Amino acid sequence: MPPTHCCKAAGLMFWLLLSLTLAGQETDWRTDYEKSGYLDTPRYPETVAYCQRLAEASPWIEYRSFGTSPQGRELPLVILDRNGNFTPESVRASGNAVMLVLNCIHAGECDGKDASLILLREIAISKTLAALADNVTLLVIPIFNVDGHERFGPYNRLNQNGPREMGFRVTAQRYNLNRDFLKAQTPEMQAWLKLYRQWEPDFMVDNHVTDGADHQYVLTYGIETEANVAPPLRRWTLETLEPYLAEKMKEDNFLIARYFFLRNRPQVSNGLSFLPYSPRFSTGYGAAQNRIFYLVEMHALKDYQTRVNGNFHLMKHMLTLLNREKDRLLEANRQSDAYSAKELPGHYLPLDFQADPQDSTLRDFAGIEYRVEQSDISGGPRVIYGSKPQTMQVPYFDHIVATDSARIPYAYLIPPQWQFQIGKLIAHGVRVDYLSEALTREVESYRFRNISWARQPFEGQFMPTYESESLREERHYPAGSAVVIMNQHSNRLIAHLLE
């Protein structure tokens, strides 16, 4: 298809120039991915060894661990700062923005890992992209789901076009880390939250690979731009980030589009649906913390070299923009923190959303020709994709409406016996105070009724459904009860945890 051929041509030119640059160096700095002819991704030991080599060779890079997995593997972290500032305090003092790259949260989706290693090398070793470190400190987690990564095999993602072998989606404890940002029940996520609290990155990239439909886009992306994110960040995303990346990727012959869901599987013609993410996912968590977390979904049916190359170019353009827009982004973050701390108490905050099923617009979609047949196995419809690009008009359901909301109080009172819940708040960086003496006063609370539980667990939790009513009553709170005052930048996150 023409877009894919263009992507391959751009990729071949990039790798040719890269090979000529590295050929003049005494040490072979090619990654294992490059040495394999762009067909393989390295295992955990080889990945860590390459990161450690980078740190040994460049004063701009430090390698460290930020935690330990259930199977005893270190969680790797690479810090790149051209001035050798490798602590949150020194980076904040320098005025740099901090960009965090999260790879292999689903360990079989490894494009971002290989792209990140090349990016680190080109900034700190060959210095061909050294300017990307002028105003930005880069944190790279090459592999987050380290145990799942080492459950290596050729059949973990059957519909993914490379690499030849890859890791497994979930952790050794069978948890999906990209459902664990809010409940934080895994050792890996608890370690990540500690890292997040220490660094408070200004921008994060979460690299993935798609599972589904065929189309011409080399990647689709998810960003929060609805009522779940503070207005200053929403404006910067819509006015600056999104159009800039679309333009630059198009110049590189990579088509990109917003991440979508097929409205009624399996046909694209039934329409595409869009939805804000809850904080159990990375992008929704970022919105609740007043930060942009950018979801990257490389297209699984593109060949591996095209995908890694596209992932590399996207992150390169992100860094270019963050260097140029550093002050505006930091100011948008500060304004969003202040807005969430001051404007939310006493007002209703939307907590759940849906795309309006009665409101859609016809737009162009860069798809692939297909036909629908009846499956001999399931008896249902089965999509058979061809090879010819086809731009088609499809309904876009992207008018988002709130389906649930909560009025944000000025404070929450939590009796001292609920230490588990209090500990979760603290793990997310919420400031918790405590009553020094007993308190009796009228408060607003909830009463639940018609409670039912799911028949099957979700990520180790049985999810309830219920009805609730608000009531005012006099309650006694002993000394030691927790007090969460709602004047914090994390007010959105607190509401999701407690409402």
Q: Phi first, then psi: what are they for 319, rounded to 5°?
A: -65, -40
Query: How is residue 304 written in tokens?
Result: 């591996």
Four-residue CA torsion sign, 31, 37, 40, 43: negative
Q: 241, 233 in Cβ contact below 8 A? A: no
Kindly report the three-state secondary structure assignment for every residue of the chain.
CHHHHHHHHHHHHHHHHHHHHHHCCCCCCCCHHHHCCCCCCCCHHHHHHHHHHHHHHCCCEEEEEEEECCCCCEEEEEEECCCCCCCHHHHHHHCCEEEEEECCCCCCCCHHHHHHHHHHHHHHCCCCCHHHHCCEEEEEECCCCHHHHCCCECCCCCCCCCCCCECCCCCCCCCCHHHCCCCCCCHHHHHHHHHHHHHCCCEEEEEEECCCCCECCCEEEECCCCCCCCHHHHHHHHHHHHHHHHHHHHHCCCCEEECCEECCCCCHHHCEECCCCCCCCHHHHHHHCCCEEEEEEECCCCCHHHHHHHHHHHHHHHHHHHHHCHHHHHHHHHHHHHHHHHCCCCCEEEEEEEECCCCCEEEEEEEEEEEEEECCCCCCEEEEEEEEEEEEEEEEECCEEEEEEEECCCEEEECCCCHHHHHHHHHCCCCCEECCCCEEEEEEEEEEEEEEECCCCECCECCEEEEEEEEEEEEEECCCCEEEECCCCCHHHHHHHHC
Q: Quote the pLDDT of residue 14.
A: 56
Regarding pTM above 0.75, the answer is: yes
Q: Quote the pLDDT of residue 267.
A: 81
Q: Is residue 72 packed enough to be buried (19+ CB in 10 Å), middle (13-18) or exposed (0-12)?
A: exposed
Q: 103, 120 in Cβ contact below 8 A? A: no
Bridge partners (DSSP) of residue 372 are 383
Four-residue CA torsion sign, 127, 129, 135, 139: negative
Cis peptide before 266 (omega within 30 of 0): yes
Cα separation of 423 and 472, whole Å?
Answer: 27
Query: How is residue 308 written in tokens?
Result: 């890694």
Q: Is residue 130 packed enough to be buried (19+ CB in 10 Å), middle (13-18) or exposed (0-12)?
A: middle
Nearest to 338 by CA among 199, 221, 233: 233
Query: How is residue 264 written in tokens?
Result: 């009624």
Please give the chain's pLDDT, 499 residues, in tens.
Answer: 434 444 555 555 555 555 555 544 568 999 999 999 999 999 999 999 999 999 999 999 999 999 999 999 999 999 999 999 999 999 999 999 999 999 999 999 999 999 999 999 999 999 999 999 999 999 999 999 999 999 999 999 999 999 999 999 999 999 999 999 999 999 999 999 999 999 999 999 999 999 878 999 999 999 999 999 999 999 999 999 999 999 999 999 999 999 999 998 778 989 999 999 999 999 999 999 999 999 999 999 999 999 999 999 999 999 999 999 999 999 999 999 999 999 999 999 999 999 999 999 999 999 999 999 999 999 998 899 999 999 999 999 999 999 999 999 999 999 999 999 999 999 999 999 999 999 999 999 999 999 999 999 999 899 999 999 999 999 999 999 999 999 999 999 999 999 9
Q: Is residue 128 packed enough to be buried (19+ CB in 10 Å), middle (13-18) or exposed (0-12)?
A: middle
Domain 2-342: give its CATH architecture: 3-Layer(aba) Sandwich (3.40)
Sorted by sequence, the CB contacts under 8 Å of residue 107 that are 6+ apart come out as: 143, 145, 146, 148, 149, 151, 166, 167, 168, 169
Strand pairing report for 74-80 and 61-68: antiparallel
Q: Quote the pLDDT of residue 264.
A: 81
Q: Domain residues of the chain, as ranges?
A: 2-342, 409-498
Q: 294, 287 in Cβ contact below 8 A? A: no
Q: Quote the pLDDT of residue 19.
A: 53
Query: How is residue 25 written in tokens?
Result: 């160096």
Q: Quote the pLDDT of residue 15.
A: 55
Q: Quote the pLDDT of residue 399.
A: 98
Bridge partners (DSSP) of residue 349 are 406
Q: Quote the pLDDT of residue 266.
A: 74
Scan for tokens 């180790």, then name that residue: 460
Q: Quote the pLDDT of residue 370.
A: 93
